[in-house]
Structure 1
Amino acid sequence: MDEDDLETFGEQLYHRIYPKHKEIAGKLTGMLLELPGPVLSQMLQDEAMLTAAVEKALKALQLSQEPSKVTCKDEGDVSMSSESLGEQLFELVDVYNTGHSQKITGMLLEQHKEAVLTLLSDPKLLEQHVNLALKTLKEQKLEETDVSDSSDADDTERLGEKLFSLVEEMDPLHANDITGMLLEMDPAALKQLLSDHTMLDIAVQKAQAALDT
């Protein structure tokens, strides 16, 4: 995205954010401008998406301005459980709209608690880590694609395993049945489902409807 585009997006975002957040409109606009161009375009057309992004940016700002909440007070009082750390981290990672928020959050949570706390209070550092994690995920995907030249049976089995783990998160009770139904689709369509969670949601809902009838 070139500087002219950035300036245009910046002006439009600022005008949209200013009425509700006069004092920090500039800061919020700056944070949102770190998102990719296509996401910004969509955001300017979709009020709900913009509101959600602004709320997430606000949370990030509050966290960075309240280090006392983030740091552990003393050994006997762990001020933040891993779960709430994960939730907060997910909220911030989700702002980047990578499509892999859960995976990236999981990867970042593998670090020491202190390192995760630092990420929560330093948006720039968090952005670097998100980009790194995204790069790692893409490389893993490429490696998987190289391996997938083996037989179709192996391919289907691998797709089935991946699909099952995703479906299980959405509907643990019927995961087996739903995965079986989805595996009747051709491999190209299945790969599409694995890379596009919206499509997967729709496919799972259709399968659930078919099971209910």
Structure 2
Amino acid sequence: MEEEEDLETLGEQLYSLIHPKHKEDAGKLTGMLLELPGPVLSQMLQDEATLTAAVEKALRALQLAREPSKMTCKDEDDVSVSSDSLGEQLFDLVDVYNTGHSQKITGMLLEQDKKAVLNLLSDPKLLEEQVNFALKTLKEQNVEETDISDSSDADDTERLGEKIFSLVEELDPHHANDITGMLLEMEPAALQQLLSDHKMLEVAVQKAQAALDTQT
């Protein structure tokens, strides 16, 4: 019960922040963001830049879902050329519903024929069902790994640290060690979000750089 109440409180806080700028879509956007893990939501409430980045992504997904894909009226040659952009559109939508597994789930959904993928782009409910199904499949595949996860927490953190470090190094090679150390203090779910969303990572790195500047 407590979790449901917490989610309701988070939803109300998010709604009050989103509503002034997006009156018509505030309810839908809030619902989409509430699919994200709790630590990520808390971070959004504390950091306007993180919230703005997430809202923009959710808005983009809503717009894609509302517009029947322009590709449906082109001939087959055009459709085959557009498979990359189809993947990009699908990834944007999947990324709103999920964190950490967006690329895997997009890959799984793209194994269907193009007509089915186009249906997913124009039908948010169908997409949500398929994303949840793909997520369930992924979780079942990972059951064995999670059984031994207690003993491998340190390894997981180390692997996360290595991935974060390689991305941070591209953005700020001089302070990569310090910034990675600061980011690793975040919750694992929030770190996964940074790995799957380059824009959020950039925002987090900028905040860490600002913190470093005040310390020097």
- For Structure 1 versus Structure 2, the TM-score category normalised by the shorter chain is 0.5 to 0.7
Q: Kindly, what percent of the aligned residue pairs are identical?
A: 74
Check the 8 A contact 1:17/1:25 in 2, yes or no.
yes
How large is the RMSD of aligned CA atoms in angstroms? 3.1
- Give the TM-score taking structure 2 as reference length: 0.62
Q: How does 1:53-68 map to 2 (within 5 A)?
A: 53-68=54-69
- Equivalent positions of 1:75-94 (< 5 A) are 75-78=76-79, 81-94=82-95
Offset of residue 6 of structure 1: 3.4
Matching residue's letter, 1:125? L
In the alignment, the residues of structure 1 paired with residue 29 and residue 92 of structure 2 have an alpha-carbon distance, to the nearest angstrom, of 15
Q: Which of the two has greater helix per residue?
A: 2
Count the aligned residue pairs.
166
**Contact kept? 1:94, 1:101, Cα under 8 Å:** yes
In structure 1, the gaps of 5 or more residues are 147-186
Aligned to 1:201: 164
What secondary structure, in the 3-state scheme, does the structure 1 residue paired with 2:76 have? coil
> Structure 2 CA distance, aligned partners of 1:100 and 1:115?
21
Q: Which whole-Å CA distance do the structure 1 matches of 2:131 and 2:61 have between them?
A: 15
Partner of 2:192: none
CA distance in 2, matches of 1:11, 1:80: 43
Inter-partner Cα distance in structure 2 for 1:118 and 1:31: 19
Scaled by the length of structure 1, the TM-score of the pair is 0.63
Q: Are the equivalent residues in 1 in contact too, given 2:35–2:98 (CA < 8 A)?
A: no
| Residue of structure 2 in register with 1:8 after alignment | 9
Match of 2:213 in 1: none
In the alignment, structure 2 segments of 5+ residues that lack a partner are 174-216
Q: Is the radius of gyration larger for structure 1 or structure 2?
A: 1
Distance 1:100 1:67, change over 3 A: same
* C-alpha distance 122-80 of structure 1, shift in aligned 2 (>3 A): farther
2:137 maps to which residue? 136
